Amino acid sequence: MIPLLLKIRLKNITYLSRGKRGIIYKAIYKKQKVSIKTKLPSSDAKGRIKNEGKFLKILNKYKIGPELIKSGKNYLMYRYIEGEFLPDFLDRETDKEKKKKIIIKILKQIRILDKLKINKLEFIRPLKHIFIKNEKITMIDFERCYYTDSPKNVTQFCQFLINRKLIKKNIKLLQQYKENQSEKNFKEILNTI
């Protein structure tokens, strides 16, 4: 549920989608389109919305994720994202250079997560977690993020690319990056695309 104090400041509230832990609405706030994410009442997950707000504040500094406008204990409000999901883009786009450019942009954002020691989790199956619009990339769903000394964002996304036959399987390169997440090892991964 959208908190009442927030609800009275919103216009044209409509249901958008539902996930395992949250419900997303679309609305107008101060003349701009926004999305509001609230906790799914039936979800047992605790603190996920608050966690996502914390990580979005950090990641927005690096231009990653939707632009956070407001957050509270049980809700987030961010700028509405338009575009198509990554798998739809990859299936539709026939220009190999455009695909390559988008994949590299995504990997560069994901690399920042690895450098910050933040693990996002959903990159092995980013079916509804990455939006593409006019070559702009926006990742969503940071509710399960956590800090770790060995984040797996780049390697998981590479596994997704391998499964889609967008890059060749190179266990040695991925193992090399997993053991030493250096810029050199990351650039070697980029060179395979």
- What distance in Å separates the CA atoms of residue 68 and residue 62, rounded to the nearest whole number? 13
Count helices and strands in the chain by DSSP H and E runs = 7, 10
pLDDT 10s digits, 12-47: 999 999 888 889 999 999 999 999 999 888 777 788
- What distance in Å separates the CA atoms of residue 38 and residue 108, rounded to the nearest whole number? 29
Query: 153-163 and 96-115 helices cross at what angle (nearest 10)?
Result: 160
Please state the pTM of the whole predicted model: 0.93
Residue 3 has pLDDT above 80, yes or no: no
pLDDT at position 51: 94
- What distance in Å separates the CA atoms of residue 143 and residue 46, rounded to the nearest whole number? 10
User: What distance lies between CA 177 and its chain's CA centroid?
Assistant: 21
pLDDT at position 96: 94
Which one-letter amino acid corresponds to residue 118?
Answer: I
pLDDT 10s digits, 103-153: 999 999 999 999 999 999 889 999 999 999 999 999 999 999 999 999 999
- What distance in Å separates the CA atoms of residue 137 and residue 85, rounded to the nearest whole number? 10
- What are the structural domains, with CATH classification, of the chain? 4-79 (3.30.200.20), 84-190 (1.10.510)
Residue 73 DSSP label: S
Strand partners, 84: 132
| Assigned token pair, 4 | 């009442």
* Max Cα–Cα distance, the chain, nearest Å: 55
